[in-house]
Amino acid sequence: MPGKTPWKMAAGATAIALLAAGCGGGGSDDSSSTSNTVVIGIGEPQHLIPSNATESNGAEVLASLFYPLVDFDAQNNPNPVAAESITPDKANTVWTIKLKSGFTFSNGEPVTSDNYINAWNYGAYGPNAQGASYFFDKIKGYADLQSKDPDGEEGPQKAPEPKAKTLTGLAKVDDTTFTVTLSAPFAGWESVMGYTAFFPLPKAAWKSDGVIADGFEDAIIGNGPFKLKGKWEHDSQLVVEKVADFKGTAPKVDGITWKIYQDQQAEYADLVANNVDVQTTIPIESLAKASADLGDRFKKSPNSTFQFVGFPTFQKEYQNVDVRRAISMAINRQEITDQIFLGSQSPATSFVSPVVAGYRANTCGENCEYNPTKAKELYEAAKGPKEIKITYNVDGNHKAWVDATCNQIKASLGINCVGGEEPKFADLLTKVEKHQPVGLIRLGWIMDYPLMENYLGPLYSTDGSSNYYGYSNATFDNLVKEGSAAATPEEAIKKWQAAEDILAKEMPVIPLRNGQNVFGYSEKVSNVTLDLFSKVDIYKIEVVS
């Protein structure tokens, strides 16, 4: 009987396969619940080389593996941490950084000036394509490390190699001292160096000069309070354990498991089931039940996110400032933050985030106050367009609030308002670059360092990296630059505030909302705080005994 045997074999094979499927895994949950370690949920980091880690997941993990030059106190003023002292010259151009001695990387190498200089040169060198390379653009010699395609991206010529491989602005004085020369005076430089991109790299990182060794990123070695246990288990987890003889501030927990989630709702399910100890962002779908599920372990704190819409300067119909003011007045921000965001964001009435020094509430004045009657009068007098559009990327959960905003504008101004959908942010940018009529552009900003300048520069300066709408005002640009060059932080803030006042008059964008950290934690941990970058403070968190 030819058929019988394969039939039985198939059944047997199935049984074996099922057995294999069942037995393949297991044994991962060996840490007992009494141990002094915590599990914090994150998303898969894109990169762990500090100069390439620009998103919050990577930054969060790196904060446990590295010890920064400076950190920030409650008022967001920089404090030297790994640095003994950071002193500028009189012009705020040459900064001398003295490192604390005795610090080592977790592999035993001492931390020296070279570790910083080499890492920063690598980060700034254009062909390395490091995401955070723009942080180094204030250092002298940055331009020589970049290459420019002579005939544009489409042209046949290849970009030439950059003129130099190292920044002329970085100079070693001795093993624990080095100087940074900026290309222009900048009083806030100390704050900038608090960012992830400024971490040092050990000698073990390099295969040869300026080339990172294969596999270093997966087993990264830092100078921080924790070291990576094993390797980066992509899409699964990163386990870090305490460095035994760490010289700096010692954290209260013995280890952290950075558990990687693809979906915040899955993470929330695990938080409720006590499988993860901290969730830094509770998804909006779960907000309604979070208070009931977590009680007082559901918390909010300010962060630096700033949400707004911009008016493209290439569209004539928005050139009249009264049109822009009227649209802004037509929007009821409070209603949207309450109804759509369930209080997880707050209305914005200024052009910078409340978390930076120099912030003043309500600089936007009556332009950001909901006043449908005045809005309609202004709009009709200014003969605004009969239909306006708010273009957004659909992959970012923006539909609900854009539609609500449109409905408010419709009701207030008596005109038509539609949401323009683009699949991704890149598609939106392409249309803006081609000057297609996109209408109002949905935008958001998270700061890199806690200074007003980090909002004013990139968002509203003529050559700002995220000024997609093309706003340009020479007086404004000068004020921002003067502020950066000012001798003291107080003088800088004065200049920057003057610059912000120009924005309030001209309304190049409509401020909409300021973000908040909306986080929760399990019963196992206490003292959970999040900083302005939505990072858990790993030095404060502790396990409830």
Partner 1 sequence: MFRYIVRRLLQMVLTFFGATFLVYALMFANQKDPIQALVGERPVSESQRIALTERYHLDEGFFMQYWYYMKGVLTGDFGTSMTGRKIYDMMSDAWPVTFRLAIIAIVIAAAFSVTAGVYSAIKRGGIFDNSTLLITLVLLAMPIVVIAPLAQLIFGIQLGWFAPTATRDATFYQLLLPAIVLACIVIAPEMRVTRTSVVENLRADYVRTARAKGLTRMRVIWVHVLRNSLIPVVTLIGVDLGGLLAGAIVTEHVFNIPGVGFNLARAINTEDGPLVVGFVSILVILFLFINLLVDLLYAALDPRIRYE
Q: Cβ(311)–Cβ(509) under 8 Å? A: yes
CB of 376 to partner 1, least distance (A): 33
Reading the block at residue 444, the tokens are 């958001």
Site mask for partner 1 (CB under 8 A), range 236-275, x = bound: xx----------------------xxxx-xxx-xx-xx-x
The residues in 7-26 that bind partner 1, with binding defined as CB under 8 A, are 7, 10, 14, 17-18, 20-26
Residue from 76, 96, 128, 436 in contact with partner 1 (CB under 8 A): 128
Closest CB to partner 1 among 18 and 173? 18
How many CB atoms within 10 Å of residue 230? 12
The residues in 397-456 that bind partner 1, with binding defined as CB under 8 A, are 424-427, 429-430, 443-444
Residue from 64, 93, 130, 350 in contact with partner 1 (CB under 8 A): 130
**Binding region for partner 1 (CB under 8 A) out of 1-9, 188-196, 408-416, 509-517:** 1-9
CB of 266 to partner 1, least distance (A): 4
**Binding region for partner 1 (CB under 8 A) out of 59-67, 154-162, 163-171, 192-200:** 154-162
CB of 457 to partner 1, least distance (A): 12
Number of chain residues interacting with partner 1 (CB under 8 A)? 71
**Binding region for partner 1 (CB under 8 A) out of 121-129, 178-186, 344-352, 356-364:** 121-129
CB of 29 to partner 1, least distance (A): 9
Three-class SS of 417-440: EEEEEECCHHHHHHHHHCCCCCCE
Reading the block at residue 366, the tokens are 């009556």
Reading the block at residue 244, the tokens are 């035994």
Closest CB to partner 1 among 362 and 430? 430
Distance between CA atoms of residues 130 and 298, nearest Å: 36
CB of 245 to partner 1, least distance (A): 32
Q: Say whether residue 207 binds partner 1 (CB under 8 A).
A: no
Residue from 32, 34, 90, 153 in contact with partner 1 (CB under 8 A): 153
Q: Cβ(306)–Cβ(314) under 8 Å? A: no
Reading the block at residue 431, the tokens are 């249309």
Closest CB to partner 1 among 79 and 430? 430
Q: Which residue, 467, 262, 451, 230, is CA-closest to 358?
A: 451
- State phi, psi for 51 to the nearest 5 degrees: -75, -5
**What's the alpha-carbon Rg for the chain, to the nearest Å?**
26
Residue from 76, 96, 104, 147 in contact with partner 1 (CB under 8 A): 147
Give the helix/strand (H/E) hosting 94: strand 94-99
Closest CB to partner 1 among 59 and 329? 59
Q: Cβ(258)–Cβ(228) under 8 Å? A: no
CB of 127 to partner 1, least distance (A): 5
CB of 21 to partner 1, least distance (A): 4
- Ramachandran assignment for 396, one of left (phi > 0), alpha (psi -120 to 50 degrees), beta (any other): alpha
- State phi, psi for 255 to the nearest 5 degrees: -170, 160
Q: Cβ(375)–Cβ(425) under 8 Å? A: no
Residue from 234, 360, 386, 435 in contact with partner 1 (CB under 8 A): 234
The residues in 160-179 that bind partner 1, with binding defined as CB under 8 A, are 162
Helix (H, G, I), strand (E, B) or coil at 92: coil
Closest CB to partner 1 among 388 and 443? 443
Angle at 402 between CA 398 and CA 406, to 5 degrees: 170
Q: Give per-residue burial for 125-152: e unless 16+ CB within 10 Å, then b.
A: bbebebbbbbbbebbbbbebbbeeeeee
Closest CB to partner 1 among 134 and 370? 134
**Binding region for partner 1 (CB under 8 A) out of 2-10, 320-328, 340-348, 530-538:** 2-10
Distance between CA atoms of residues 137 and 130, nearest Å: 12
The residues in 28-67 that bind partner 1, with binding defined as CB under 8 A, are 28, 46-47, 54-55
Q: Cβ(131)–Cβ(53) under 8 Å? A: yes
| CA pseudo-torsion sign 458, 460, 464, 470 | positive
Site mask for partner 1 (CB under 8 A), range 324-353, x = bound: ------------------------------
Closest CB to partner 1 among 146 and 313? 146
